[in-house]
Amino acid sequence: MNEKQNQEQQMYFEKDIKEEILEICLQIFPYPQPYPVQIECMKNIINSLTEKQNLLFQSPTGTGKTLVTICSALAYAEKNPNVQVLVLTRTNEQINGFIKEIRKINKYPKINRYSILAGRGQFCLNLDDFKKYFEKQGIQKSKFNKHLTQQCNDRCKKTKCESHQSLSAPDMSIFSGSKCVNITQRVFLEKKEQQGCQCCPHFQIYKKMIKKRKKQNLKSDLHFPLVSQDYNQPFTLPDIEDMKNLFEQQDLGCPFYFNKLATRSAKLVFSTYNYIIKQNILGNIKELFEGEVIVIFDEAHNLPEQAEQEQSIKMQQKYWDSLDSTLKQVQKVFNKGNLSNQNINNLYRNVHNIICKDIEEEASYFKLSLQNKIKDGESTDTESDKSDSQINQNEDNEDNDDVEKPLPKFKHVKYTKQVSQEDQKQSKKKFYQYIQFSSQDLYDKINAIIFYNGQQPENSDENIKKIQKYVFDVKQNKNYTFPEMEEIFEIYQELRRKEVFDFFSNFQSHFLSIKEDCESLQYLFDEKNQKEIKPFCSLFSDKDIVQKFELLNVNDIKQAQSFIDKLTKVFTMLQYLKKVIKVFTEQQKNDSKSKNDAQNHIFVVENNQFYEANPDDLNNLKKFGEQLKLKYIQKIWFFFYRLIKLRKMYNYNEDPIYLQNHYISLLRGEYSPVPILQIGCLSASYLFKKIYKKISISSLILTSGTLEPFELIQKSLALQFQTYSSPHIINSETNLFTQFISYYNDQEISFSMKKLENEDDKNNIFYQSQLAINFITDKFNEYTNQVKQKGGIVIFFKSYSMLQQYSNLIKSTQGNGFYYFVETRDANEFKDRYSFYKQLIQQNKSNCIFLAVNRGKLSEGIDLKDDLCRVVILFGVPYPCLTDPYIVCKRTHAQLYLKESQWYKKETVKIVNQSAGRCIRYKDDWGCIFFLDSQYYSEKNIYQHISKWILEGQKTKMKQNYEWTQNYSQFLQNKATEFNQKDYF
């Protein structure tokens, strides 16, 4: 058989496979007769999956793209058992929307073999208690999630609570098949209300369940039961809230951790973008997926931008303030001049003692390790014995991408002596996931000598050489005695104490040196220097970038590197100090006798004042440790690490593409209330390289109604994609009214900057637009009165500033039977307002108008079907903001390097299409779309890229007459007649 015949046979074979998968897909699909458009979509998706290609799948709202994509992927996974399907969306609310979609699938028995990867804020069964605690502590709502994670971890670590020793593992048969569970009542575990209990009973149940499965060697797949919230309601697949009720009522443990467990065997996994885009979460997802994964990003039109922005690094004045505050706290405790103060002396003495104790434990660990090597031989060297610095080096070799290093250095002795085995395991994983920055100290050197035969330089301290020689002799089975070993490690302790205390004793010199290096940046952030330091943004490939290097004091690479080295040493020692204090205080807190051993009263430094905070030494030590704020020091370090890297590249003409894809900017003055210095990224490819390293992706599918232009997405992600655009299934002639309003009363309506410069012109433009809106709303009000059914109108403004500017004026003209809502930036407040908006319409109480913003919360991911949105008005053209450095540099980058001169306008149209599509959500839905700005029609690069199905809804194509008002009235009259006839029959 020749090569041509082989190729033909392979083609026939692939065709048979695709047809077989399509047949499975049609069986899974919940409707017996899919639309021809949907079948064509399935064929294109299956084609990409079988060829293991990526796909950009553009399909208008209402075509059922979510259900079609999921069914196609499940059909492929059914044919390929080692494949899982990961569906990602922007919000947790949209995950619940996906669950509603898959509830329609009733012919696929494995559909309940799914999982939801959501955060603790969605799943935690102790959430109400935590919120009350946070409110009492005065913690801002925006920081609840951060503190929730910390509190959850703390509770999960407490495993010796006597109150919950009687807890038992749940009956796992509930997850074995198609079970049905009624969750009509919300109950609360009495176990968690035990007085003085500090652990999490739900996590304890989960741990017992894991232990039981391991003991019984249970490897069966986990299937969620069907649930019902009411005796009169059918049983359905549980969404996030249902899972919380199910796990709490049935004592099934923690839904957060259980869903992670279920992910390993799930066919279908739902999550938000954060699990992939956020780099600190991405590191933990690899272990959840063992085989190949089909990754589906829903509503992916903004995905490249989100991936690019996620890689930005920012620096603000508060970072320097935090650094300054932390250094001052340490300086006061270790400054010899303050030791005459008895109160500070007490604190210093306690810190000194616990450091000495910690160094003793280090020596004990080394002695024990060396004895084990003598006993077992060199074969005992394992991956788990590696020192921190060696782990860092290996990680550097494995993955040299830029990753922020947020984790503190964890001394080896700490997680062998003071931390549980499970925590050790987790800490190890985190070491491998992040490149650490750390200067090598004596601990690292001795660790390297014992485990890796590390060689010290010729000019090393004689005592270090003595330790090294002794270790080598012992490992070669030469005679040794325990007194000799004790003597050697006494030397180690002496050297280690000298290293640590010499550093802190000379802390003032380190402190002042760093402060001097920071003076130029302090000048940059100082509000007094706004006239001298103007806002700027520049690509690193630009010629004028050298001036920015000089301004940021990194023109001299050696000098900049010296600053990094000094900051690294300070940070490393502060990490050590903070960790020693934390481990000691946590250990003592768990010791019931620790309070009886409390020493004299001690004074604490806070806000530059000395006061008697608490007579308990333990509390004061803990408070001092908490005052060492290291997060912002890490951010400063990483900012300069990236800046110096880019500076070196520019200096030696290295990797020009990397330079082209990055920019630096300073926002200040009228552009930002707080000066912000930022290094930004203009390519999503760097993040997606990391994603592909963590997950074995079979195919990557990006879906949205507005993905075009496809080539920009492909260039940003640096991936090859097949593309497919599906036509709309609605009848635009009968179900859509589209109108471009360029004039009203013979007056042009244009919200261009030029037109708005003159105050009189601006007032007239708004007045005419207001009259046009009044006409639209009045006619809609007449329609709702005819059909006796209330409805909603959404007005999208091009920016929050325009919304605020005009909202009061628009609302002042109400009195026409409408209830007005205004979109806010606060997510919780918006959720409450939208819920009320929805309630008023669905309960037929009032017509509503929601004033929203393009690219805001209402423009994406919310299903405004039927009467929730019958009319959309786009108030002004939503051009991206040209005061945003990302937009400015992205525009320049597209023109220079992507050869895309129309990027700015194409990006604008993408936003327009997304907002306009809010009023049509399925085949028989109907709505009206108004473009209120002459620029929509006059700017051909905007008009010609508006979605075809929207343009097909035009009934009047002339731009300067009143014919559209008659056509709009007639369209609504026709819809009223249809409604009443339908209601009659």
Phi-psi region of 788 (alpha: psi -120 to 50; beta: other; left: phi over 0): left
Within 10 A of 443 (CB to CB), how many other CB atoms are there?
24
- How large is the average pLDDT for residues 674-690? 91
Residue 648 is assigned to a structural domain of this protein = no
Six-digit token string for 570:
């300070």
User: Can you spell out the DSSP letters for 711-772?
Assistant: HHHHHHHT--EEEEEPPP-S-HHHHEEEEEE-EETTEE----HHHHSSHHHHHHHHHHHHHH
861 three-class SS: coil
pLDDT exceeding 90 applies to what percent of the chain?
A: 23
Closest Cα to residue 24, out of 90, 81, 73? Answer: 73
For Cα atoms 750, 737, 922, give the angle at the middle one, nearest 5 degrees: 120
CB 853 within 8 A of CB 823: yes
The pLDDT, as a whole number, for residue 448 is: 74
Domain span including residue 131: 115-162+175-290
8 A C-beta contact, residue 100 and residue 30: no
Number of domains observed in the structure of the chain: 4
Return the SS3 of 614: strand
> Are residues 796 and 927 located together in one domain of the fold?
yes
3-state secondary structure 149-190: HHHHHHHHHCCCCHHHCCCCCCCHHHHCCCCEEECCCCCCCH
Give the integer Cα–Cα distance in Å for 195 and 453: 53
pLDDT digits (tens, 9 = 90+) for 814-823: 556 788 899 9
Is residue 679 very low, low, confident or very high in pLDDT (cuts 50, 70, 90)? very high
pLDDT of 374? 58
Residues 840 and 931 in one domain: yes
| Buried residues in 361-398 as b, exposed as e (16+ CB within 10 A) | bbbebbbebbeebeeeeeeeeeeebbbbbbbbeebeee
- Tell whether 309 is covered by a domain: no
Is pLDDT above 60 for 139? Answer: yes
3 state SS for 897-921: CCCCCCHHHHHHHHHHHHHHHHHCC
- Terminal Cα distance for the chain, rounded: 67
Q: What is the SS3 assignment for 938?
A: helix
Question: What is the pLDDT at residue 602?
Answer: 38
What 3-state class would DSSP assign to 537?
strand
Segment holding 366, helix H or strand E: helix 342-376
> What's the pLDDT score for residue 824?
86
- Residues 795-814 pLDDT 10s: 999 888 888 877 777 666 55
Asked if residue 653 belongs to a domain, the reply is no
Lowest-pLDDT choice from 457-471, 700-714, 824-838, 930-944: 457-471
Q: In CATH, what number is assigned to the domain containing residue 850? A: 3.40.50.300
- Is residue 684 domain-resident? no
The lowest-confidence range among 625-634, 638-647, 680-689 is: 625-634
Position 532 confidence tier, pLDDT thresholds 50, 70, 90? confident
pLDDT of residue 7: 55
Which residue, of 639, 655, 676, is where some domain finishes?
639
Mean pLDDT rounded to a whole number for the chain: 79
Return d(Cα 60, Cα 730) in angstroms, integer.
10
Whether residue 462 is contained in a domain is answered as yes
Query: Are 780 and 764 members of one domain?
Result: yes
pLDDT of residue 763: 85
Q: Encode pLDDT of 636-654 as tens digits.
A: 888 888 998 899 898 877 7
- What is the token pair recorded at 156? 């999960």
Nearest CA-CA partner of 270 in 120, 86, 105: 86
Examine the domain organization and report whether 878 and 759 are in the same domain. yes
Is the pLDDT at 716 greater than 50, yes or no? Answer: yes
User: In this structure, is the dihedral angle defined by the CA atoms of residues 804, 805, 806 and 809, taken in order, positive or negative?
Assistant: positive
pLDDT at 589 over 80: no
pLDDT score of 228: 87
| Least-confidence region, from 129-143, 369-383, 639-653, 953-967 | 369-383
Task: Find the mean pLDDT for residues 6-21.
Answer: 68
Instruction: Of 39, 686, 45, 609, give the one whose Cα is nearest residue 310.
Output: 686
* Number of helices followed by number of strands (H, E) in the chain: 41, 23
What is the percent of the chain with per-residue pLDDT over 70, rounded to a whole number?
81
Q: Indicate the pLDDT class of residue 786, thresholds 50, 70 and 90.
A: very high
The residues, any chain, with a CB within 8 Å of residue 414's CB and separated by 6 or more, are: 579, 583
**β-strand partners of 226:** 180
Confidence tier at 875 by pLDDT (50, 70, 90): very high
Indicate whether 259 and 333 sit together in one domain.
no
- The least confident of 289-303, 374-388, 812-826 is 374-388
Among 271, 290, 309, the domain boundary falls at 290
pLDDT band at 554 (very low <50, low <70, confident <90, very high): confident
Cα-Cα-Cα-Cα torsion 526, 528, 532, 534, nearest 10 degrees, comes to 60
pLDDT(129) > 60 = yes
Judge whether residue 181 has pLDDT over 90: no
Q: Over the stretch 453-501, which tens digit does the pLDDT of each residue have?
A: 666 666 567 777 778 787 777 777 676 677 878 888 888 888 888 888 8
**739 with 721, same domain?**
no
Q: 493 and 416, same structural domain?
A: yes
**21 and 154 together in one domain:** no
Residues 277 and 325 in one domain: no
Angle at 305 between CA 631 and CA 864, to 5 degrees: 110
What is each CA distance from 159 to 166, 198, 454, 800, 972, in whole angstroms? 12, 10, 39, 49, 65
Structure tokens at 820: 């007005």
Give me the mean pLDDT over the 716-742 stretch.
90
The pLDDT of residue 3 is 60
Instruction: Determine if the pTM surpasses 0.85.
Output: no
Name which of 328-332, 406-410, 675-679, 924-928 the model is least confident about. 406-410
Mean pLDDT on 19-33: 91
Residue 538 parent element (H or E) = strand 536-539
Examine residue 663 and state whether it is found in any structural domain, yes or no.
no
Measuring CA to CA, which residue among 171, 228, 163, 230 is closest to residue 197? 163
Cβ atoms of residues 186 and 247 within 8 Å: no
Other CB atoms closer than 10 Å to residue 220's CB: what's the count? 11
The CA dihedral of 110, 113, 117, 120, to the nearest 10 degrees, is 140
Q: Assess whether pLDDT exceeds 50 at residue 744.
A: yes
Environment class of 907 (CB within 10 Å of its CB; exposed 0-12, middle 13-18, buried 19+) = buried
Does residue 89 lie in a domain region? no
Looking at the structure, do residues 779 and 916 belong to the same domain, yes or no? yes
State the pLDDT confidence band at 22, using cuts at 50, 70 and 90. very high
More confident residue, 382 or 305: 305
DSSP labels, 637-667: HHHHHHHHHHHHHHHTT--HHHHHTEEEEEE
Name which residue leads in pLDDT, 405 or 949. Answer: 949
Residue 592 has pLDDT above 50, yes or no: no
Contact status, residue 566 vs residue 514, Cβ threshold 8 Å: yes
Q: Which of 668, 641, 628, 669 is nearest to 316 (CA)?
A: 668
- Average pLDDT, stretch 179-189? 67
Give DSSP secondary structure letters for 469-528. Answer: HHHHHHHTT----HHHHHHHHHHHHHHHHHHHHHHHHTHHHHHHHHHHHTHHHHHHH-GG
Contact at 8 Å (CB) between 853 and 794? no
**What DSSP state is assigned to residue 409?**
P
- Out of 591, 613, 639, a domain closes at 639
- Of the ranges 126-135, 610-619, 675-684, 902-911, the best mean pLDDT one: 675-684
Q: How confident is the model at residue 293 (pLDDT cuts 50, 70, 90)?
A: very high
In a domain, 792, yes or no: yes
Are 85 and 73 a contacting pair, CB within 8 Å?
Answer: yes
pLDDT in the model for residue 593: 40
Domain identity same for 216 and 252? yes
Q: Could you tell me the CA-to-CA distances from 849 to 33, 782, 875 in Å, in that order? A: 37, 15, 13
Residues 821, 936, single domain; the answer is yes
Contacts of 149 (CB under 8 A, 6+ apart): 120
